[in-house]
């Protein structure tokens, strides 16, 4: 009989598709990714879980102040996903800047937001 | 009186795609009427990402998705009027509209496409008792205030309803510095996308209270608190389960209703299940030459599907204008049965079918390991396996026109074969 | 120094103010709220009762029967919506029929015309969707429906046009009288006046007790209501009452002047004079009870629910008299139903009382009966619409898409006397936000217009009451930052497996 042992794990819900499998991720030094995933119904679940454990990232969207326009705010996004732990540092930078119109969709507003290496861009045209 | 081959009412994602598709199909003389100050519709306030995965295979924000279609419309030089309100449309396809530049305008159209979208259910519709203070918003109104106008709607927030708008707003408010205390959901499952539950709630430690609802609103001038109660299987609040939350704001994300006041003026028949016009294979309503697409027909959860539906309506309107569809032939009804809430289109004229026909449907409850089955008269002709079905997610079933033309059924019906489940995240 | 100071700008205060401006008098109208009509006047059944209901010989009977016929002229002069649609009191059994007989007789005593008791067929003819179990009804053709807050607002505006002064946001904290002159102190100002008229609704007893010994007590009764969408508007054509019980005239179902359906009220004694919250129990009771009148009420088409308080007096009748102990102090108190129906007659009666206090009243030669024209864009012909837009393009911008209300109408409502300053006060005057979206689409635009027209920031605009800002500041302003969740790498927890 296998001996009960303590092991480190985390519960996740897979967002790779609408099914929403409940995943359990175990730290497992023997497996090639250092993690073992249970509860997934396809391969995407494993990739999702490992990404969430090692380097969770999100696209951040918000608005920035804008002058010279009928509108007071311009919608913006990070061009690619940023590390999740940087979200609020990014928000602080986003809240400080002010953009002068005209702006084109895709214009870079902050080159390297929160030192993530990723730019913040405008997500629409604004005259 | 102005004359156009095609007038599209609404310049949101549905109206834009419909107008563009009609032009691609040869319609020259098109006018798009938009009531807001700019084109793009509600997408302009949906600044989050997640749009376009299906159509563009990339993740766009709402304004980005809209901008692609706006650019295409501008390149095609399709005429449009913004800040223009349609006051009336008639069965004979005349339109009365009003704006500051042109004043009151009368337009005659060969064909009309309705793309007015939907509106939000309100507090009154769900009859939450209590006082009537400031600080009770529908989620979409709050979204407009925050994302477009640049104003905060509150500091301590409770959200009722876990549809996607409610979830998105929970994250949005948190990022802007508000504290979201909880998202309460009447049903035992969320109607929002799993991804949104994880990325909007779990990421920010916002509790999701399934089988809960708001049973009281307090505060004389501004909200000072709400009561959240657990509900039983009949969705009735359970006495003794009340919990008070001190907040200054209640956001309601409790459903969307297709906006069909204009459709009713033109005597267009509505489907009580969808709240939108009954449409046929070409997205044509019960009134000849008036088409409809997008959330005015039924509430979609993905804008990509709105675009596809609008393209169908645009092509249908073009065919109508060029007399390429046969109008006065009997239509075959498509009937929702066991487990199916509604199906779009509600009827098809088999002779007008070409290639494939996509049926859009919603189920009545959550299923696991189920099949969507298509019955032609008495015979089941198609079964589509689905590991998971939920009322919150629209499903599509593709029919082959040639098979329809061979069988020529009198009715088509759809039903679900599978195990119902109580689904909870 | 004012001749007249009126406390409370509800239907009584505004009716009296306007009636008194027919004379050369300096009149102040003060109210604790930031709009007129903001108490009971904005939350009631909106019925102009025929007048068979009050006990003969009471002030209620006298003033209801006198007030009712005054509404046609008054409302047409002031451009207030009023429809004389008639009322029906249903009977379901012989006992009810006897009650109808009693009401009919009472009506005759109160000199009410155009009443008849009708049978089942006649009833079905008048109300095709009525519960088939109803066997007859008392049909009173003179009953009507009105826009109650529209009327109070119109009266206030016309009173100001004719010289009265309106002081809002002015809760009265004390009243003193020295040498025949009253000093009325609000939280921000002092007024001196020869006569004080107390029209303070559910707080009339408290106002009385500031200067006079307690003579009466107001025991507020709450009534809750449903408002249904206009698409349900065709289900009912008359004011439909159930057989009266001990708690008043019972739950009614009626069209409103704007084509919605109003259902309610219940009648519940409440201890607070601001207890205007709706309750689950109250709403359920109304739903159940109303279904006896119409079995198929489409409550799923509800667009709003609200509650109001009636100023029930312990005396059982209206109190309309100079205080026996404080000369020059007139109480208009306990104006419960049929107070709205009686209001124009109450105002006339008060003129008589004032006339007996002040030396000979002189007519105001400049008195104008009417208000400057109010434009209802949606009701104009296409030609008139086009003409209007040419003159003022703001009428071409539709703000409320449910009711087709234009920017021009909203701006006008803001700039009139007794004009709108808040979102709800715009709504009460020109109705954006009363439709099925309940302001979801138009509220941002209404706030923008209010801010622009009053030189305010949008986040200073109130929903209704004094402390009811809709918005709480701009985004991207540092000070609202609170409790950011600190993101860390996913935490692994110990589990046993």
Residue C487's pLDDT band, with cuts at 50, 70 and 90, is very low
On whether both B171 and B195 belong to a single domain, the answer is: yes
Question: Helices marked H in C116-232 — which ranges?
Answer: 120-126, 148-161, 204-211
> What was the pLDDT predicted at C473?
94
Note whether residue C450 is domain-resident. yes
Does one domain contain both C66 and C177?
yes
> Which of A75, A90, A91, A95 best tests the B interface by mutation, with the highest count of B CBs <10 A?
A75
Angle at C330 between CA C329 and CA C334, to 5 degrees: 135
| Rg for chain C, CA atoms, rounded | 24
Do B109 and B126 lie in one domain? The reply is no
CATH number, domain at B399? 2.60.40
Structural domain contains residue C480 = no
Nearest-CA neighbor of C3 among C162, C191, C190, C167?
C191
Tell me: do B85 and B131 sit in the same domain: no
Cα separation of B45 and B52, whole Å?
Answer: 16
Instruction: Let me know if residue C69 belongs to a domain.
Output: yes
User: Is the alpha carbon torsion for C221, C226, C230, C236 positive or negative?
Assistant: negative
Residue C183 to residue C181: CA distance in whole angstroms:
7
In angstroms and rounded to an integer, the radius of gyration of the C-alpha atoms of chain A is: 20
Domain of residue C336, CATH code = 3.50.50.60
**Domains, chain A, with CATH or none:** 9-54 (no CATH), 58-122 (3.10.530.10)
Q: Which of B254, B279, B307 is the last residue of a domain?
A: B254
In this prediction, residue C248 carries a pLDDT of: 58
| Domain edge (last residue) among C257, C286, C309 | C309
Residue C388 distance to chain A (closest CA, Å):
27
Q: Which residues of chain B have pLDDT under 50?
A: 425
Q: Are residues B282 and B172 in the same domain?
A: no
Statement: residue A27 has pLDDT above 90: no
Please tell me whether residues B176 and B280 are part of one structural domain: no
- Give per-residue pLDDT as tens, C335-360: 999 999 999 999 999 999 999 999 98
Q: Tell me the mean pLDDT in the region C461-469.
A: 94
Are residues C338 and C364 part of one domain?
yes
Which of B27-36, B177-186, C136-145, C430-439 has the weakest average pLDDT?
Answer: C430-439
Are B39 and B11 in contact by the 8 Å Cβ rule? The answer is yes
Residue C396 with chain B: CB contacts under 8 Å: 98-100, 103-104
| Sequence-ordered list of residues with C-beta below 8 angstroms from that of A77, at least 6 positions apart, any chain | A59, A60, A61, A62, A120, A121, A123, B47, B49, B61, B64
Q: How far apart are CA A101 and CA A72, in angstroms?
A: 11
Closest by Cβ to B193, choosing from A18, A65, A73: A18
Instruction: Round to whole Å and give the CA distance between B354 and B315.
Output: 12
For residues B109 and B2, membership in a common domain is answered with: yes
Q: Based on the structure, what is the number of domains in chain C?
A: 3
Does residue C192 have a pLDDT over 90? yes
Q: Are residues B229 and B297 in the same domain?
A: no
Catalytic member of C49, C258, C300, C376: C49
The residue segments making up the domain with residue B157 are 122-254
Q: Are residues B306 and B385 in the same domain?
A: no
What pLDDT score does C494 carry?
41
With CB atoms and an 8 Å threshold, state whether C306 touches B176: no
Alpha carbon of residue A115 to chain centroid: 15
Shared-domain flag, residues C278 and C427: no
**Is the pLDDT score of C493 beyond 70?**
no
Q: Are residues C118 and C253 in the same domain?
A: yes
Chain A residues in contact with B59 (beta carbon < 8 A): 59
Give yes or no for C276 touching B (CB within 8 A). Answer: yes
Average pLDDT score, chain A: 89
- Are B127 and C480 an interchain contact pair (Cβ–Cβ within 8 Å)? no
pLDDT at A127: 87
The number of angstroms, rounded, from the C-alpha of C221 to the middle of its chain's C-alpha atoms is: 15
Residues spanned by the domain of C263: 87-141+219-309
Instruction: Write down the pLDDT at residue C480.
Output: 41
Burial C403-415 (b: 16+ CB within 10 A, else e): bbbbbbbbbbbbe
CATH at B8 = 3.50.50.60
Parallel, antiparallel, or unpaired: how do β-strands B94-99 and C268-269 relate?
unpaired
Structural domain includes residue C457:
yes
Instruction: Please tell me whether residues B137 and B188 are part of one structural domain.
Output: yes
**Among residues B328, B357, B391, which one ends one of the domains?**
B328
Cβ distance of A85 and C488 shorter than 8 Å:
yes
Cα C195 to chain centroid, rounded: 26
3 state DSSP class of B246: coil
Q: Which residues of A touch B64 (CB under 8 A)?
A: 77, 105, 123-124
With cut-offs at 50, 70 and 90, classify the pLDDT of residue A28. confident
pLDDT at C247: 54
Residue C300 sits at the chain B interface (C-beta within 8 Å)? yes
Where does a domain end: C356, C371, C386? C371
Whether residues B306 and B317 fall in one domain: yes
Q: What pLDDT does residue C484 have? A: 42
DSSP state of A59: -
Q: What is the pLDDT of residue B194?
A: 84
For chain A, which chains pass the contact test of at least 3 CB pairs under 8 Å?
Answer: B, C
Q: What's the pLDDT band for C246 if we cut at 50, 70, 90?
A: low
DSSP B211: T
- First-to-final CA distance of chain C: 87
Of residues C495 and B357, more confidence is placed in B357
What's the pLDDT at C489? Answer: 39
Q: Tell me what pLDDT residue A5 has.
A: 47
C329 shares a domain with C208? yes
| Model confidence at C103: pLDDT above 70 | yes
C-alpha closest to that of B274 among B304, B299, B294: B299
B301 and B335 in a common domain: no
- Is the same domain home to B200 and B306? no
Residues C206 and C281 in one domain: no
Same domain, C4 and C77: yes
Instruction: Name the interface residues of A facing B (CB cutoff 8 Å).
Output: 13-15, 17-20, 41, 58-63, 65, 70-73, 75-77, 84, 87, 91, 105, 123-125
pLDDT (mean) for A90-95: 95
For residue C257, pLDDT over 90 is answered with: yes
Is residue C317's pLDDT more than 70? yes
What is the mean predicted confidence (pLDDT) over C205-229? 96
Cβ contacts (< 8 Å) between A62 and chain B: which residues? 47, 175-176
Mutate to test the interface with A, among C476, C478, C483, C492 (most CBs of A within 10 A): C476
Instruction: Among C309, C324, C344, give the residue marking a domain's end.
Output: C309
Catalytic residue check, C238: no
Number of domains in chain B: 3
Which pLDDT does position C481 carry in this prediction?
Answer: 44
- Chain A hits for B393, CB-CB cut-off 8 Å, are 18
Which whole number is the average pLDDT over C26-49? 96
Helix, coil or strand: residue C8: coil
C449 band by pLDDT with thresholds 50, 70 and 90: very high
**β-bridge pairing A120-122 and A73-78:** antiparallel
Statement to judge: residues C79 and C166 lie in one domain: yes
Last residue of one domain, picked from the residues B328, B346, B364: B328
**C71 found inside a domain:** yes
Residue C126 sits in a domain whose CATH number is 3.30.9.10
Put simply, the answer to whether C484 touches A5 (Cβ < 8 Å) is no
Calpha distance B8→B35 (Å, rounded): 12
């Amino acid at each position: 009989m296998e001996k009960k042992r303590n092991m480190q794990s985390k519960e996740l819900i897979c967002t790779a598709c609408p099914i929403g499998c409940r995943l359990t991720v175990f730290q497992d030094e023997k497996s090639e990714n250092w993690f073992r995933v249970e509860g997934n119904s396809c391969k995407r679940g494993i990739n999702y879980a490992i990404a969430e454990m090692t380097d969770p990232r999100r696209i951040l969207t918000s608005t920035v102040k804008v002058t010279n326009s009928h509108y007071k705010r311009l919608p913006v996004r990070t061009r690619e996903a940023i590390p999740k732990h940087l979200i609020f540092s990014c928000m602080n930078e986003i809240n400080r800047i002010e953009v002068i119109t005209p702006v084109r969709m895709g214009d870079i507003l902050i080159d390297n937001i929160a030192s993530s290496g990723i730019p913040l861009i405008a997500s629409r045209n604004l005259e | 009186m102005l004359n156009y081959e095609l007038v599209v009412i609404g310049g949101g994602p549905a109206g834009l795609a419909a107008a563009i598709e009609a032009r691609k199909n040869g319609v020259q003389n098109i006018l798009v009427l938009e009531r807001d100050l700019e084109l793009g519709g509600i997408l302009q306030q949906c600044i989050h990402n997640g749009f376009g995965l299906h159509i563009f295979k990339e993740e766009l924000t709402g304004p980005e998705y809209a901008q692609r279609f706006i650019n295409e419309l501008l390149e095609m030089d399709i005429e449009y009027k913004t800040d223009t309100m349609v006051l009336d449309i008639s069965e004979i396809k005349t339109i009365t509209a009003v704006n500051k530049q042109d004043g009151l305008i009368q337009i005659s159209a060969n064909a009309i496409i309705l793309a007015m979208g939907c509106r939000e259910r309100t507090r009154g519709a769900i009859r939450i008792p209590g006082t009537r203070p400031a600080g009770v918003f529908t989620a979409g109104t709050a979204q407009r205030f925050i994302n477009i106008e640049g104003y905060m709607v509150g500091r301590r927030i409770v959200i009722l309803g876990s549809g996607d708008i409610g979830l998105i707003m929970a994250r949005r408010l948190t990022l802007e510095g508000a504290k979201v205390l909880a998202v309460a959901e009447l049903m035992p499952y969320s109607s929002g996308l799993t991804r949104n539950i994880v990325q909007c709630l779990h990421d920010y430690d916002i509790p999701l209270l399934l089988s809960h609802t708001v049973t009281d609103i307090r505060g004389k001038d501004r909200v000072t608190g709400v009561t959240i109660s657990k509900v039983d299987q009949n969705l009735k609040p359970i006495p003794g389960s009340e919990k008070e939350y001190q907040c200054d704001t209640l956001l309601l994300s409790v459903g969307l209703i297709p906006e069909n006041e204009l459709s009713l003026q033109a005597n267009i028949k509505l489907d009580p299940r969808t709240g939108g016009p009954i449409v046929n294979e070409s997205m044509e309503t019960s009134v000849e030459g008036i088409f409809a697409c997008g959330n005015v027909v039924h509430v979609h959860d993905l804008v990509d599907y709105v675009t596809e539906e609008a393209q169908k309506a645009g092509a249908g309107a073009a065919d109508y204008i060029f007399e390429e569809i046969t109008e006065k032939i009997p239509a075959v009804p498509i009937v929702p049965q066991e487990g199916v809430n509604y199906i779009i289109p509600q009827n098809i004229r088999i002779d007008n079918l070409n290639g494939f026909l996509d049926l859009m449907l919603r189920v009545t409850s959550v299923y696991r390991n189920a099949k969507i089955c298509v019955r032609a008269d008495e015979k089941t002709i198609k079964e589509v396996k689905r590991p998971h079905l939920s009322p919150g997610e629209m499903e599509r079933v593709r029919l082959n026109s040639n098979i329809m033309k061979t069988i020529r059924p009198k009715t088509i019906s759809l039903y679900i074969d599978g195990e119902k489940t109580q689904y909870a995240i | 120094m004012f001749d007249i100071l009126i406390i409370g700008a509800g239907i009584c205060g505004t009716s009296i103010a306007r009636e008194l401006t027919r004379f050369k008098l300096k009149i102040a109208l003060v109210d604790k709220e930031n709009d007129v009509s903001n108490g009971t006047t904005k939350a009631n059944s909106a019925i102009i009762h025929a007048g068979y209901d009050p006990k003969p010989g009471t002030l209620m009977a006298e003033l209801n029967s006198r007030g009712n016929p005054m509404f046609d002229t008054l409302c047409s002069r002031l451009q207030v919506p009023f429809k004389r649609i008639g009322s029906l009191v249903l009977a379901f059994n012989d006992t009810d029929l006897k009650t109808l007989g009693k009401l009919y007789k009472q009506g005759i005593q109160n000199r009410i015309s155009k009443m008849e008791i009708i049978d089942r067929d006649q009833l079905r003819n008048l109300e095709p969707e009525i519960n088939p179990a109803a066997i007859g009804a008392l049909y009173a053709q003179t009953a009507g429906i009105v826009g109650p807050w529209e009327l109070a607002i119109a009266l206030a505006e016309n009173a100001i046009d004719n010289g009265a002064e309106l002081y809002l946001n002015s809760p009265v904290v004390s009243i003193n009288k020295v040498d025949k002159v009253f000093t009325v102190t609000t939280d921000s100002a002092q007024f001196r006046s020869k006569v004080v008229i107390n029209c303070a609704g559910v707080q009339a007893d408290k106002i009385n007790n500031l200067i006079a010994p307690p003579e009466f007590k107001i025991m507020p009764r709450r009534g809750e209501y449903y408002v249904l969408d206009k698409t349900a508007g065709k289900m009912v054509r008359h004011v439909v009452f159930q057989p009266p019980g001990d708690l008043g005239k019972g739950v009614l179902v009626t069209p409103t002047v704007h084509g919605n359906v109003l259902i309610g009220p219940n009648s519940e004694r409440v201890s607070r004079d601001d207890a205007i919250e709706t309750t689950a129990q109250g709403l359920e009771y109304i739903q159940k009870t109303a279904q006896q009148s119409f079995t198929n009420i489409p409550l799923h088409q509800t667009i709003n629910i609200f509650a109001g308080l009636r100023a029930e007096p312990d005396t059982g009748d209206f109190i309309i008299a100079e205080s026996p102990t404080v000369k020059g102090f007139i109480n208009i108190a306990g104006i419960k139903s049929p107070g709205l129906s009686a209001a124009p007659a109450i105002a006339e009666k008060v003129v008589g009382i004032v006339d007996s206090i002040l030396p000979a009243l002189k007519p105001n030669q400049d008195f104008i009966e009417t208000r400057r024209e109010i434009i209802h864009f949606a009701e104009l012909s296409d030609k008139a619409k086009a003409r209007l837009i040419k003159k003022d393009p703001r009428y071409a911008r539709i703000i409320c898409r449910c009711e087709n209300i234009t920017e021009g109408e909203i701006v006008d409502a803001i700039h009139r006397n007794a004009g709108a300053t808040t979102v709800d006060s715009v709504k009460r005057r020109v109705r954006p936000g009363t439709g099925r979206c309940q302001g979801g689409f138009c509220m941002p635009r209404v706030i923008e217009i209010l801010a622009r027209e009053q030189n305010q920031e949008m986040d200073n605009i109130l929903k209704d009451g004094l402390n009811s800002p809709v918005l709480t500041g701009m985004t991207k302003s540092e000070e609202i930052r609170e409790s950011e969740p600190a993101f860390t790498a996913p935490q692994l927890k110990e589990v046993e497996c």
